[in-house]
Structure 1
Amino acid sequence: MINNPIIALDFASAEEVYSFLTPFNEPLFVKVGMELYMQEGPAIVYKLKEMGHDVFLDLKLHDIPNTVGQAMKGLARLGVDLINVHAAGGEAMMIKAREGLEAGTLAGKMRPAIIGVTQLTSTSEQQMQEEQLIHTSLEESVLHYARLSKKAGLDGVVCSVLEAGKIVESCGEGFLRVTPGIRLSSGEAHDQVRVATPSIARKQGSSHIVVGRAITKADNPVEAYKTIFNMWEEYA
């Protein structure tokens, strides 16, 4: 699994994806989320892997343990590199998810890395407390879910840059901290609340970053990707 910035392919169709990827002449790390997967299904994943790209399948599964385990067993056969579940589903669910991946991974292949979603980067502390009735700080909620994910045997979590350093202290350097909400300093936050630049993310402890519109909506996506890649690598 390469450690390049992960490009969020937030498109509605395979045609848009292929048109976007055509100018790139190198292997990328790309994210397939619910919008794209629900429209195109497994075929888009197979095609991206055939093109040589690493794939983060971002479906955020959250259901009873057996259901998630069986779903992961099937998804493992797609050969993705990274996949996730909602940590709020609990320890038993996360254990079943990991076990399902292990059972479904083809012989001779490495199972996908699996990470738990802590709190979405679109969620503010006030929203978490009022709507989820979690009466603690946002940071403590994220750290709790990170520790629970590690206990369940997951490989890391999705978190914001703001919590990444504390997760290193709590869970160790080898525990992945995948951080969305990445923007250039001049970029808009859109629907994200907890955002940061690639350089700040690296300095604060992110192990991987996910970048969407700062690249996909840029006038020159290849140049935008190179800029973000260089900012990310500057503090490697």
Structure 2
Amino acid sequence: MTANPIYVAIDTSDLAAAEALARAVAPHVGGLKLGLQFFMAHGPDGVRRIQAFGLPIFLDVKLHDIGNTVAGAMTSLAPLGVAIVNVHASIGVEAMKAARAAIGPETAIIAVTVLTSFDDTDLAAIGVQARVRDQVAHFAAMARTAGLQGIVCSGAEAAATRAAWPDAMIVVPGVRPAGGELGDQKRVMTPHAAVDAGASILVVGRPITAATDPAAAAAAIAASL
């Protein structure tokens, strides 16, 4: 776990709002996650604007394509020097290897396993017969073979992943304080429980970004750890 494992999810196309949020939470968190909505609206220049606040950036673009295309995208992203970027594990080991080779060692590449909005029923609906925990373990093994730094999974799979892959970067979204609204998330865990389970980084969105006072909400979650 990093000194402060909380990364705030900035998922907005409003650059001024994103900068205001980053400014407010910067003293209380360990990093910032920039999602597709932000990146599609503002691209690399927007990333640089948020990097100006001095926190590590997790660029959450969830790349999913053939190896040549994913490697090309990584080459284009390399000059940004973000701390973390991700791909979908389902692109396969060879494409993940290509992604890893295309970007510098200062950027960690992690693989998305099973989205935290999915449960076993959702997996079955898209033709995956494995249970979530088994599918996550399978994808984690693929990511490790490909030379990636870790995976994205829910807190429910963090302990098993840590046991199987001790030095993995385990990024856990779907984090909710006790009693918090679940929204569209199904596999959730409290921040403290996720850290205890082995999470390296906690991605926290709406419990902070939708709060009346995001800075206070971020500070409270940090204090709970």
The alignment's TM-score, normalised by the length of structure 2, stands at: 0.95
SS in 1 for 2:97: helix
Q: What is the percent sequence identity of the aligned residues?
A: 36
Is the 2:143–2:150 Cα contact (8 Å) retained in structure 1? Answer: yes
Flag the structure with more relative contact order, 1 or 2, with Cα contacts below 8 A and sequence separation at least 6.
Answer: 2
Give, in whole Å, the separation in 2 of the partners of 1:117 and 1:21: 24
Q: Deviations over 1:179-207 (max 9, x none)?
A: 00001112100011100110110111111
Aligned to 1:162: 156
Structure 1 residue 138 corresponds to structure 2 residue 140: no
Summarize the alignment of residues 74-93 of structure 1 with structure 2, pairs less than 5 Å apart: 74-93=76-95
Is the 1:87–1:148 Cα contact (8 Å) retained in structure 2? Answer: yes
Is the 2:22–2:32 Cα contact (8 Å) retained in structure 1? Answer: no
Counterpart amino acid of 1:116?
A
Structure 1 residue 113 corresponds to structure 2 residue 115: no
Q: Deviations over 1:33-68 (max 9, x none)?
A: 100000011111111222212100000001000110
Aligned to 2:199: 206
Give, in whole Å, the separation in 2 of the partners of 1:211 and 1:176: 16
Counterpart amino acid of 2:110?
I
Is the 1:124–1:193 Cα contact (8 Å) retained in structure 2? Answer: yes
Aligned pair count reads 223
Equivalent of residue 229 in structure 1, options 206, 213, 222: 222
Aligned to 1:106: none
Q: Superposition RMSD on alpha carbons, in Å?
A: 1.4
Give, in whole Å, the separation in 1 of the partners of 2:211 and 2:5: 18
Give, in whole Å, the separation in 2 of the partners of 1:20 and 1:176: 25
SS in 2 for 1:23: helix
Gaps of 5+ in 2: none
Structure 1 residue 127 corresponds to structure 2 residue 133: no
Give, in whole Å, the separation in 1 of the partners of 2:120 and 2:5: 30
Give, in whole Å, the separation in 2 of the partners of 1:21 and 1:156: 25
Q: Deviations over 1:86-121 (max 9, x none)?
A: 00000011000000113xxxxxxx520110000000
Counterpart amino acid of 1:4?
P
Equivalent of residue 175 in structure 1, options 150, 168, 172: 168
SS in 1 for 2:179: coil
Counterpart amino acid of 1:216?
T
Gaps of 5+ in 1: 103-109
Counterpart amino acid of 2:17?
E
Is the 2:178–2:190 Cα contact (8 Å) retained in structure 1? Answer: yes
Counterpart amino acid of 2:170?
R
Cα distance change, pair 4–136 in 1 and its aligned pair in 2 (3 A): closer
The alignment's TM-score, normalised by the length of structure 1, stands at: 0.90
Q: Aligned-pair distance for 1:153?
A: 0.1
Q: Aligned-pair distance for 1:19?
A: 2.2
Give, in whole Å, the separation in 2 of the partners of 1:179 and 1:123: 14
Give, in whole Å, the separation in 2 of the partners of 1:167 and 1:160: 10
Q: Aligned-pair distance for 1:28?
A: 4.4
Give, in whole Å, the separation in 2 of the partners of 1:100 and 1:219: 41
